[in-house]
Amino acid sequence: MATYTGHCHCAAVKYTFTISPGLEEQELVSCNCSYCSTTGALLLYPKTTDFSFTDGADNLTEYRFATGSIEHLFCKVCGTNMTAKSLVEGAFSGIQAVNARTLDGIDLENMKVKKVNGKDFTFPSKADGEK
């Protein structure tokens, strides 16, 4: 298990997470969905239980689109895209998508990047997944 920290551009929001294997063995995800391609996020997926905001969670605001099944969190001070998570059981549940561009002290140039076709992926709606 390796521990990492990160923050938004203005440092109003900070987070930490653990992940195994460490970043040197992880593949970042470059998704071509309308949101990720617009924000330029490179994603990493620690477990939700291994991720926490350590400072400034009150400076977060959320954005949802299309089916409303993904909660995208960003800093309401500087606008940095921070994380996303599924609100639908069984559809990527249990993981927190972290924008790797917000990690502290990590050189992303040497990281492996996998391209994912999110543009053609259909998420269930939140209403469909609610119990």
Domain that holds residue 6: 2-102
Q: Report the CATH number that the domain containing residue 33 is assigned in CATH.
A: 2.170.150.70
Instruction: Check whether 127 has a pLDDT greater than 60.
Output: no
Consecutive H or E run containing 72? strand 70-75
**What is the pTM assigned to this prediction?**
0.86
CA distance 92 to 46: 11
Instruction: Measure Cα distances from 75 to 48, 83, 119, 129 in Å.
Output: 19, 10, 25, 27
Give pLDDT tens digits for 76-97: 999 999 999 888 777 677 899 9
Give pLDDT tens digits for 30-58: 988 888 889 899 999 999 999 999 999 99
Please give the radius of gyration of the chain, using alpha carbons only, rounded to the nearest integer: 14
Instruction: Judge whether 109 lies within some domain.
Output: no
Consecutive H or E run containing 36? helix 34-39
Instruction: Judge whether 131 lies within some domain.
Output: no
Instruction: Judge whether 43 lies within some domain.
Output: yes
Count the domains in the chain: 1
Question: From its phi and psi, is residue 95 left (phi > 0), alpha (psi between -120 and 50) or beta?
Answer: beta
